[in-house]
Amino acid sequence: GESVGLHLPTLSVQEGDNSIINCAYSNSASDYFIWYKQESGKGPQFIIDIRSNMDKRQGQRVTVLLNKTVKHLSLQIAATQPGDSAVYFCAENRGATNKLIFGTGTLLAVQP
């Protein structure tokens, strides 16, 4: 079936290191991808998005890479900080349906 999934359920990194969180998707018709951060007790918060006509998009300390050939999405966080500790979700938006399909999430734990 169609799905969006994450390779690693838990990622532990040292403060100051770079983090890479990966996501696989199966629906080649998806045209828009989003990364969310969810801190404990809060709803998901938008981090960065990318459309299917792009390969890379950069924000403040974050970069999203999209590889349509292998249907792979990644989120890179530079100089990871304790405040980055959270669960990260990738999501795909199938434009015609106006629905978000989420992956299962990766817990990022930043060690001081």
Partner 1 sequence: DVKVTQSSRYLVKRTGEKVFLECVQDMDHENMFWYRQDPGLGLRLIYFSYDVKMKEKGDIPEGYSVSREKKERFSLILESASTNQTSMYLCATKTERYGYTFGSGTRLTVV
Contact set with partner 1 (CB under 8 A): 34, 36, 41-46, 49, 89, 91, 98-105
Q: Least separation, in Å, of the C-beta of 4 and partner 1? A: 8
Q: Least separation, in Å, of the C-beta of 27 and partner 1? A: 14
Q: Least separation, in Å, of the C-beta of 67 and partner 1? A: 21
Residue with Cβ nearer partner 1 (21 or 44): 44
Could you tell me which residues come within 8 angstroms of residue 110 by beta carbon, excluding any fewer than 6 positions away? 12, 13, 14, 15, 19, 80, 81, 82, 84, 85
Residue with Cβ nearer partner 1 (18 or 72): 72
Residue with Cβ nearer partner 1 (65 or 102): 102
Q: Least separation, in Å, of the C-beta of 35 and partner 1? A: 11
Residue with Cβ nearer partner 1 (96 or 112): 96
